Structure 1
């Protein structure tokens, strides 16, 4: 990743820091393994704030679209990102363990040298579908007749014939 945005996360949150901009998709190195092409940009905003109980939080939003590979036909799928995540910041390991008991909250260990753009990339990767696929009616394999149809001879029909012999 060519650019970096390093912040003291807890200080950033306590001072209501805000940073927004655009990230080149080609600059997100770890994300490349999931993509089919790397053109374009994603818009992001990182805002620091305090939650209702005065705990520091980073609010991350990412918007844009990326192209994933369909796991059925290996074709291109346009995937729209509209990511909104709140990350509770823990200042040390014991606080991290205590906050992490609440499964409804995402908690990270904050540091004075946190790379926010790497954190954004992490959140994008975590938001991706496990097995991206076209809707069946849009998939190239289904359109080309790669699915099961009544007119095709099953590759198992030869086995059925062998079974009848014995």
Structure 2
């Protein structure tokens, strides 16, 4: 397997030649993705195969990595393994994209070359959960830890009523600075 992947690719040319790309890319190189992670360590294993089915140029393959997300319950890191299947149809217009089969996502080309990192990053961004959280009940674990460390209170603290000032004003009859006699 290659250790480095090309920076730019020509997907249509690779599809005509039935090309394949295999290699690794560091997670830290994926700028948009690394900004959403708790830690940008590790690398993405990339296997992409280019072909033409009928007249449709395609990219199929797999992306494998382990991402470190931040739990939205306890704010601690969550290990998120990713094994994502890539199925892209290479198109140049929106009309072509609309005619793709439902199981194929469009890759809209604006020129002949495309930044490979952008394809990989887009696919990984689609795999992220909206609200990452641990599989176990992490809030219960944090509550148990905080109860064992917290000092024991002998009596509950009394809360003050924020409207008690209004009650005093009502009793004196001096609302808005005027008194009626």
TM-score band w.r.t. shorter chain? 0.7 to 0.9
**Residue 103 of structure 1: how far off its partner (Å):** 3.5
Q: Give the deviation of 1:88 after TM superposition.
A: 0.7
Does the 8 Å contact 1:136/1:142 carry over to 2? no
Query: Which residue of structure 2 aligns with residue 120 of structure 1?
Result: 120
Tell me, what secondary structure is at the counterpart of 1:144? helix
Spell out, residue by residue over 1:39-59, the C-alpha distance to the aligned partner (whole angstroms, 9 max, x if none).
1111111210123x3411011
Q: Which has the larger radius of gyration?
A: 2
**Contact 2:87-2:103 at 8 Å conserved across structures:** no
Structure 1 stretches of 4+ with a deviation exceeding 3 A read 91-94
Contact 2:27 2:43 in 1 (8 A): yes
**Equivalent residue pairs, number:** 141
- Provide the secondary structure at the position in 1 that maps to 2:35: helix
Residue equivalent to 1:66: 67
Give the aligned partner of residue 47 of structure 1: 49
- Structure 1 gaps of 5+ residues are 147-157, 160-166
Deviations 1:41-92 (A, max 9, x none): 11111210123x3411011311120100000000010000111111011133
Aligned-partner Cα distance in 2 for 1:129–1:14:
35
Aligned residues: CA RMSD? 2.2
For residues 99 and 87 of structure 2, the distance between their equivalents in structure 1, rounded to whole angstroms, comes to: 17
Normalising by structure 1, report the TM-score. 0.75
Gap runs ≥5 in structure 2: 145-159, 162-181
